[in-house]
Structure 1
Amino acid sequence: MIPAYQRPETAILKERLREPPRFLIVVAGPRQVGKTTLVRSVLAGYPPGRYSFVAVDDPEDSSLPRADPGSAPTGRRAAAPRDGAWLVDIWQRARTAAQRSADGHILILDEIQKISRWSDIVKGLWDADRAQGLALHVVLLGSSPLLMRQGMSESLAGRFEPIHLSHWSFREMVDAFDFDLEDYLYFGGYPGSAPRIRDEARWRNYVNTVLIEPSIEKDILMMTRVDKPALLRQLFHLGCRYSGQELSYTKMMGQLQDAGNTVTLAHYLELLGNAGLIRGLQKYAGQHYRRRSSSPKLVVLNMALMSAGSGYTRAEAQADRGYRGRVVESIVGAHLHNTAAPDCRLHYWRDGTDEVDFVVERGQRLVAIEVKSAAVPAQLRGLATFEREFGACRRLLIGDGGIPLAEFLSYPAEHWF
C-alpha cells in the first residue's frame, strides 16, 4: 500500500474538526473499510493532548484526566464495565480536558454501539455541552452499521453529521494497492485483504474468517433479533451465488432449508444489505407502491464476497465466460450502489423479454444502464423499450461496444447523470 494514500473522506473530517462543534460527527460504513484508520490518520496531525481516542473494547485511554483531579486513581480501568456510567465518566473527563485547553478537545469513541442505550446517553451529554457552548468535538465510530443506524435515527436526529465510508472503489484500490481491473473483479475492495492476494488460499481464509463471519455474527446476529440465524447465513451464500441475477422469493424458498415465508426472506435480505454485504434491488415501476412486490435482483456489494465462496481461483473465474458475465454485472451494480449519492435510488427493470440491467433514479432524472461482457446485439431493445415507457432518460452501454468497464468504474454514479 502507498503510505501517503488517504481516502477522500479524510479531508471532510479534517474540515469538520476545524469548525466549531455544532454536530456530532459519525463515521459510518461497513466492517473493515478503514473507519478507524481514517480517524487515526487525521488525529496524527494533532498534538496528543488535543484528543482522546477511546475504544469501548480496549483499555481506557490514560491521556484523559480524571473528572475530579482530587480523586484517587481507580486502579485498572480496563476492568470497569462498559456501560452508561462508564460512558458518562469518559465524557466528563473529556469535558475537563476541553475546559483546560484554549483550543478545545476532540473525543473519539470507537465501537460505541457496544454500550447499551448509547444513543440516549450521548443525546443528553451532547445537548448539555451545546447549552454551555463547550469546545468539545465528539466523533463516533462503530463496526455495526445496523445498530449505528438505529441509534442515529431514533435518538440523535438533527444532532449529527455523517461521514459515510463505503467499500473501496476501483480507483482507490488502483491508487493504494496497485490493483488492475482483473484484480478488482476477483479480489474486490477490502484494504485489509489486499496484501494477501498473491496467496489465494490465505486471502480466501481472511475474507471468510475476518470479514464475512464477523459481519454476520457480530453486526447482525448479536445486534438484531433473528429467529432463524441458519437461514440468514444460507441466504447470504445464495445471494453470493446468484449475484447479478433476478431471483424470486419463491425460487429462494425452493433452495433454502426452513425458509419460512417471503416476509422473513425480505427482512433478512434487508439486514444483509444494511450490513454492507448484499442488496436486493427492486424493479423500477414508476409508481413506488408497485416496487415492493417485485422479485429482487441480488447484488453483492464487494466482489470479495462473491469470489471467496465461488470455488473458482482467479484464473478459473476469468476463463469461465458465463461466470465472468455475472461478475461484470455484479461489479457494475456494486459500484453504482456504493458510490451513489444519498438521494439516488438503484433499481433494475424487466418487461417480458425486454430488460435493463440497472436504473439509477435521482429526482425526476433516470439513467438506464445495460451491461455487456460479450458481443452486443444490433439493437438494445431493452433500453429503447424502457425509454418509450418511462420517458426520456440517459442510456448507457457498459462493456464491449460502449463505455469500457475500467472507465465506468473510475467515476461515481452521479457522474453519469
Structure 2
Amino acid sequence: MTFKRQTILSPLQENLARPAHVLQILVGPRQVGKTTAIHQFLENWPEPKVYATADQLTPPNTQWLAETWRQARKQTGGMPLLVIDEIQKVSRWSEAVKMLHDEDVRERRRLRVILLGSSALLLQHGMRESLAGRFQLIECPHWSYSECRGAFGWELDQFLFYGGYPGAVPFIDDFNAWKDYVQNSLLETVIGRDIPAVQRIDHPALFRQTLGLACQHPAQVISLQKMMGQLQDRGSINTLANYLELIAGAFLVEPVRKFSSRAIRVRTSSPKLIARNNALVTALRGLPFAETVKDRDFYGRLVENAVGAALINAGESVFYWCDRNKEVDFIVQRGKTILAIEITAGAGHRTPGLGTFLHRYPEAKAVRIGGARADLSVAQFFDHGI
C-alpha cells in the first residue's frame, strides 16, 4: 500500500471543502511526493478532473497553459478539478493564471485549480504580486523521521544517514547506487535544469561548487569570505550570496542567521549552513552508512543538522547564537517566545553558550536535546518536536 503524506493531503482536502474560490498552490522540494500525493488525491476526487505537467523537454508557454485550462472548463458536471504540475516551468505563468482565474470568478465557474511547483523561486516570479489574495499556499516539506519510519520501517540512524528521499529508498542496499541516484537524478536535475530554467546562472561551475561546499559544512557557521577562499572558481561575494539564496530557494541548503535583537546584525551575520535533507550531506561526502555512524564527531554533526532541518521544514523561525567561543546551536522564535536549543550527540560538543545566552535573554527557555541532562532524547525530538 502506498504511504499517504497527510501533511499534504489533509490541508488540501480541508481547503477544497471550503466554498472560497481560490487557487491551491503546493510548493516543495523535488522528489518529496507532491505528484504522488496529488495522484492519490485525484483517485478519490469524485468529480471530473484534468492533470497536466509542464515538466517537458521544451518548456511550454502560456498558450499551452490557456488551452489546458480551457479543456478543464469543458468538463461537465459537479466541480471539475484542474491540476498543473511544475507550473514554474511556464514562462510568465502567474500573469496567465491571474487572467484565467479571474475569468472563472467573473463567470462563476465551479472549476477548482491546484498548481504544483518544486522551487520557492516561483514565489519570487510573480506569485505574491500577480496572485495576491487569490491563493492558499501549502508547503510540502522534506520527509520527517516519523514518516520514514511509518513508510519504510527505518530506525533513527537510517533516517540521519539517508535523509528520506522516497525515490532513493530502493537503492539503500547498494551505497554507490544510492549515492549516484541522489547526486545525478536529484541534485543534477535541480541545479542543472530547475534553477537555470527560472534564473540565469552566469558561472555554472561556481554555482555547483557553492552547493558542494555548503553540503560539506553541515550545521557549521562559515563566512562568505572563507567560502570564497575554498572555491576553485572565484566570483564576487554578491554572486556567492546570490547562489546561496538560489540553493535555499530550491529547498536544498538553508543559510541560518545569527540571532540578535537588531535586524541589521541578523542580515549581515555569517550563515550557519543547514542542509534541508541529510542525504545531501552523506551522498556528497561519499562514505557508506557503517563507516559514517562509527565517526561519532561527524555523527554528532549529522544529528545537529537534522535537528536544524526539522525545525526549518516545520516552518519555525530558526537562528543560531554565538559570542566569541560560546555558542547556542539553535534559537527558535515564536512571537515573543524564545527557545534556546542545545544538542549533545557524538563524541563531544563545542563549548556551550546556553548559560551565557540565558543570562543575556532571561525570558528565553532552554531545551536540551540528547546527552545525560537532556529535556528530550534525539528520538523524542524527531517524534514530537519541541
For Structure 1 versus Structure 2, the TM-score category normalised by the shorter chain is: over 0.9
Instruction: Look up the match of 1:367.
Output: 339
Change (3 A) 1:4 1:293: closer
Match of 1:331 among 306, 325, 328: 306
User: Within the alignment, does 1:86 sit opposite 2:64 as a pair?
Assistant: yes
CA separation in 1, counterparts of 2:235 and 2:215? Answer: 20
Instruction: Look up the match of 1:404.
Output: 377
CA-atom RMSD, angstroms? 2.1
Bigger shift: residues 9-18 or 234-243: 9-18
User: Within the alignment, does 1:200 sit opposite 2:175 as a pair?
Assistant: yes
Instruction: Look up the match of 2:140.
Output: 165
Instruction: Look up the match of 1:37.
Output: 36
Secondary structure in 2 matching 1:400: coil
Report Cα offsets for 1:6-50 as digits up to 9, x if no partner. Answer: 333212212222333521000110111111111110110134x61
Structure 2 counterpart of 1:56, which letter? A
Instruction: Look up the match of 2:73.
Output: 95
Instruction: Look up the match of 2:94.
Output: 119
Instruction: Look up the match of 1:299.
Output: 274
Instruction: Look up the match of 2:52.
Output: 54
- Runs of 4+ deviating beyond 6 Å: none
Report Cα offsets for 1:214-252 as digits up to 9, x if no partner. Answer: 111122123202221211111111111111111111211
Structure 1 counterpart of 2:251, which letter? G
Of the two, which has the highest radius of gyration? 1
CA separation in 2, counterparts of 1:122 and 1:358? Answer: 39
Contact 1:374 1:400 in 2 (8 A): no
Report Cα offsets for 1:179-221 as digits up to 9, x if no partner. Answer: 1101101100111111221111111111011111111112212
Q: Structure 2-normalised TM-score?
A: 0.94
Matches within 5 A, 1:86-235: 86-97=64-75, 100-101=76-77, 103-235=78-210
Bigger shift: residues 259-268 or 20-29: 259-268
Structure 2 counterpart of 1:330, which letter? N
Secondary structure in 1 matching 2:234: coil
Instruction: Look up the match of 1:310.
Output: 285
How far did residue 148 of structure 1 move? 4.9
Instruction: Look up the match of 1:3.
Output: 2
How far did residue 375 of structure 1 move? 6.9
CA separation in 2, counterparts of 1:241 and 1:296? Answer: 14
How far did residue 4 of structure 1 move? 4.8
CA separation in 2, counterparts of 1:277 and 1:362? Answer: 24
How far did residue 388 of structure 1 move? 1.5
Contact 2:255 2:273 in 1 (8 A): yes
Report Cα offsets for 1:383-406 as digits up to 9, x if no partner. Answer: 111112123111011111212111
CA separation in 2, counterparts of 1:87 and 1:279? Answer: 32
Report Cα offsets for 1:251-306 as digits up to 9, x if no partner. Answer: 11110123323222211111111101111111111111111211111111100000
Contact 1:375 1:400 in 2 (8 A): no
Identity %: 41
How far did residue 91 of structure 1 move? 1.4
CA separation in 1, counterparts of 2:162 and 2:286? Answer: 13
Bigger shift: residues 163-172 or 402-411: 402-411
State the number of aligned residues. Answer: 384
Instruction: Look up the match of 1:64.
Output: none
